[in-house]
Amino acid sequence: MIGSFLNVIIYRLPQISEIQYRLICANYIETFFKHKKIKGSLNQKRKLRKIKTHLGVPYNGDAFSLSTPKSHCPNCLRTLSWTENIPIFSFLILKGRCKTCKNPIGKTYPLVEFISAAGALYISTRLYLPATENLDIHLLMKTASLCTFFWMCIALLIIDIRTQTLPDLLTLSLMWLGIVVSLTSTTGLALESAILGAIFGYSSLWLIYQTYKFFTNKEGMGYGDFKLTAAICTWIGVESLAILLLIASLTGALFGGFLLITGKLKRDDAMPFGPFLILSSFILIHTSPSI
């Protein structure tokens, strides 16, 4: 069920951000031209509101949020019944197609649901089962927080691959959550290490970005990557920052090289860095003796 909710976040959050961004631009244009006393430009504002967003949602003033409209087929727009909304099983029963229009359902949906369940099962059996047969509140909290970290990272990973953005709502809340978790010493990471992790996680990538931009006049990363690194470091600690960046850039370079050789990526194409940071953080948390 959490995987199902992650799917909603993965598909809607970037669209919501884009609509909000367009509205800000439209208002800015309106104020700008009002100031310049050019009336015809108000059409410009209407146009900006009407055009389909980059991710395909037409914005016509209707509410669009994580909860509205209800889950529907993106092709025939029919609202789904509860039997079509059961995680993984509905996809298998419907054989991956919409009941009415037979439009194929994206394979990411069942994949995210499966990974969320499998990851949570792995974390809880590894952490909880070997340690105790009785209810251990501390271990339960630790399991729950590591699962939450895992789930939020999966959403960020897929969003970054699909849209090459990392929404603030996810990266920043992951960072605050990491600090709160270390404050209550749930995972065993010291508060000082988490806070320094956020500071140095952000600033180290910012420094690399500025240096790269100064010498090449190109932007090598986005600000979302800085925030994601800060967020991850509140969970793995400042001590693991260097190794996090090392693993992420090595795997990123290897994968990028592979895509270049196979012709799936062109030389000047951008490749998201977030997924490599996330995979690298999974490796570090998995091998960390303190967590």
Give the residues lining the site for Zn ion (CB under 5 A).
Answer: 73, 75-76, 98, 101, 103
List of residues 6+ apart from 27 with CB closer than 8 A: 45
List of residues 6+ apart from 212 with CB closer than 8 A: 218, 219, 220
DSSP secondary structure string for all residues of 218-237? S--S-HHHHHHHHHHHHHH-
Q: Which is nearer to Zn ion, 31 or 85 (CB)?
A: 85
H-assigned helices in the chain: 2-36, 42-50, 89-93, 108-127, 137-163, 168-183, 191-216, 223-236, 241-261, 274-287
Give CA angle at 236 (231, 237), nearest 5°: 90
Q: Which is nearer to Zn ion, 103 or 185 (CB)?
A: 103
Q: What minimum distance in Å lies between the beta carbon of 101 and Zn ion?
A: 3
Q: What minimum distance in Å lies between the beta carbon of 76 and Zn ion?
A: 3
Q: Which is nearer to Zn ion, 92 or 169 (CB)?
A: 92
Q: What minimum distance in Å lies between the beta carbon of 75 and Zn ion?
A: 4
CA dihedral 234, 236, 237, 240 (to 10 degrees): -140
Q: What minimum distance in Å lies between the beta carbon of 1 and Zn ion?
A: 23
Q: Which is nearer to Zn ion, 25 or 73 (CB)?
A: 73
Instruction: Give the integer Cα–Cα distance in Å for 42 and 111.
Output: 45
Q: Which is nearer to Zn ion, 82 or 215 (CB)?
A: 82
Q: What minimum distance in Å lies between the beta carbon of 239 and Zn ion?
A: 51
Q: Which is nearer to Zn ion, 75 or 125 (CB)?
A: 75
Could you count the other beta carbons within 10 Å of the beta carbon of residue 233? 29
Q: Which is nearer to Zn ion, 85 or 103 (CB)?
A: 103
Q: What minimum distance in Å lies between the beta carbon of 77 and Zn ion?
A: 7
Q: Which is nearer to Zn ion, 58 or 104 (CB)?
A: 104
The two structure tokens encoding residue 170: 């996810």
Q: DSSP secondary-structure letter at 1? A: -
Q: What minimum distance in Å lies between the beta carbon of 155 and Zn ion?
A: 25
Q: What minimum distance in Å lies between the beta carbon of 211 and Zn ion?
A: 50
Instruction: Give the integer Cα–Cα distance in Å for 221 and 206.
Output: 9
Q: DSSP secondary-structure letter at 66? A: S
Cα distances (angstroms) measured from residue 2 to each of 116, 120, 168, 210: 7, 10, 20, 38
